[in-house]
Structure 1
Amino acid sequence: MSAGQKPVAVITGGSGGLAPGIAQSLLDQGYHVVLVARDTDRLRHAADALMRGSAMVDRIGCDVRQSSSVKAMTLAVLDRLGRIDLLVNAAASSNPIGGAIETVDVGLVIGDLDTKVGGYLRCIQAVAPVMKRQGAGRIINIGGLTGRSSDTLSGLRNAAVTHLTKVLSDQLGPFGITVNAVHPGITRTPHLDELFADMAAEKGVASADIEHDFISEIPTRRLCLPEEIGHAIAFLAGPQGGSINGQSITVDGGYSRGVYL
């Protein structure tokens, strides 16, 4: 990277959820951020909000379920900015899949896996050759704590993301490319607020009561913020994280109680 050139970060799932907070953390670290998503209207709003504080924001419409769309996105980033230093895979369906096995729609499960796990794979396939030519790169896969529990079938995708991360850390490490997973805990997003509201309506209580119940189970006694997920990503992507490879790092305030060696 030439003197004065900004590192480039591509964030999929960029139209909402964790992405704006992650993007802000990376902007604060001097990255030029490219938000990527298939919902171009929501993507524009997310990018515009960030652009009010920084000129180093781009947006590109892309459907990670389509290899041709992912390849076109990668070429567009290279055409505009000339390099890709960091890929943050965060595109996923926000609707959990659960319930009795007899009623589960297998097609929805497969589609869920195709969006998140397949989407991550397609993006890595497109970006890895670029990073190999550069001689360095960072890939961060956003997972989730449902992969460590039996609460919902949607956890399948996060368990697969963890396995994918470890396999690719072996393959890409020799080229100066690290691959890690970050598992967010209960994180303040509009989707979480909607979830609390739905749970409150079902139980006939206030949303604040539902939030309090969740917070009481978190040792730090507060929800995580998207920017804090971004801080962890920025550390892994920076020089301090150069020897951290193939790891699954949880940012959850201690909410998950398992012991992982």
Structure 2
Amino acid sequence: MSHDLSPYISTLTDPKELSGQVAIVTGGGLGVGKAVTRALVARGAQVVIAARRLPVLQAAAEEITADLGGEVFPVSADTTDTESVTALAAAAADIGQVSILINGAAAPAGLVRNDIAQADPDALLADLNTKVVGYFRCIKAVAPLMRANGYGRIVNIGGLTGRSSHALSGMRNLAIVHMTKVLSDQLGPDGITINTLHPGVVETEHIHELYAKNAAAEGISPEQVERNFIARTPIRRVLTAAEVADAICFFAGPRAGGITGESLGIDGGLTRGIFL
């Protein structure tokens, strides 16, 4: 079965290649999610940003539209609640054809980074419910909308802890990779791609909280933690949220139609594993 991509592709170099498309970005008010929202608006998409704190979303929407114009719609939603996610998808569908979903709502760095003796099972369940089942809820809500039109792009924001052994919360990112691959089989025949991207160390509002936590655990300064991260990264710097957003937007765009079920690090080379 073939899919007509002409409504989504004007030219391969069109800077407004996402014009006429409605995107949902969960966790869209801060950090990478906010940068993704900005990048999608710059490419012409109408963007629904979702999170639990409406004032944060409203501030982000006002900032982005003041800078770029376009349309950003803040919607308060809790991805741990199925009814809330269903309402989010319905609100986006009222705006237009939903063709892009960026899943990013999650506790930054995960809730369980301790030794098992201190690790809280309830916190681990919350991690999995928010990020894994939360992403699943969002995909389940938008898949019928995308299937009806024979086109869709889903990008899951994972994390490098899924490729290492230093944090128990990393299992949530590993689970997302598995879900991505399974759903690529199910959604591909309907013209829908789904991929997972793993950001590395990115300059956001949350990264300095991570530096502080690691510093307390290691008995060094937050500045030294940052220097250590940079020293281990081949490009020798922290990534910007805009760089991560540009990569995500490529996978969310029409030119990435041949890529699905994949897991890619956007980490400046920090991941040392070899993935075939």
- The equivalent residue for 1:77 is 92
1:1-261 equivalent positions in 2, closer than 5 A:
1=7, 6-53=20-67, 54-79=69-94, 81-94=95-108, 95-200=110-215, 206-261=221-276
Give the deviation of 1:20 after TM superposition: 0.9
Distance 2:229 2:132 in 1: 28
Amino acid at match of 2:104: A
Secondary structure, in 3 states, of the residue corresponding to 1:65?
Answer: coil
Amino acid at match of 1:137: G
**5+ residue gaps, structure 1:** none
Distance 1:250 1:84 in 2: 26
Secondary structure, in 3 states, of the residue corresponding to 1:253?
Answer: coil
- The equivalent residue for 2:14 is none
Give the deviation of 1:204 after TM superposition: 6.7
Cα distance, 1:99–1:195 mapped onto 2, change above 3 Å: closer
- Structure 1 window deviating more from structure 2 (44-53 vs 161-170): it is 44-53
Q: Is the 8 A contact 1:96 1:152 kept in 2?
A: no
Distance 2:26 2:190 in 1: 23
Identity %: 43
**5+ residue gaps, structure 2:** 1-6, 11-17
Distance 1:198 1:113 in 2: 21
Amino acid at match of 1:89: N
Give the deviation of 1:208 after TM superposition: 3.2
Count of aligned positions: 260
Cα distance, 1:160–1:198 mapped onto 2, change above 3 Å: closer
> What whole-Å deviation, never above 9, does each CA across 1:215-236 have from its counterpart, x for those lacking one?
1111011111111111111111
Cα distance, 1:7–1:257 mapped onto 2, change above 3 Å: same
> What whole-Å deviation, never above 9, does each CA across 1:115-147 have from its counterpart, x for those lacking one?
000110110011000000111000000100100
Give the deviation of 1:17 after TM superposition: 2.4
Cα RMSD, aligned residues only: 1.9
Distance 1:173 1:129 in 2: 13
Amino acid at match of 2:268: G
Secondary structure, in 3 states, of the residue corresponding to 1:190?
Answer: coil
Secondary structure, in 3 states, of the residue corresponding to 2:206?
Answer: helix
Distance 1:224 1:66 in 2: 32
* TM-score, length-scaled by structure 1: 0.93
Give the deviation of 1:255 after TM superposition: 0.4
Give the deviation of 1:179 after TM superposition: 0.6
Distance 2:162 2:121 in 1: 18
Give the deviation of 1:99 after TM superposition: 2.2
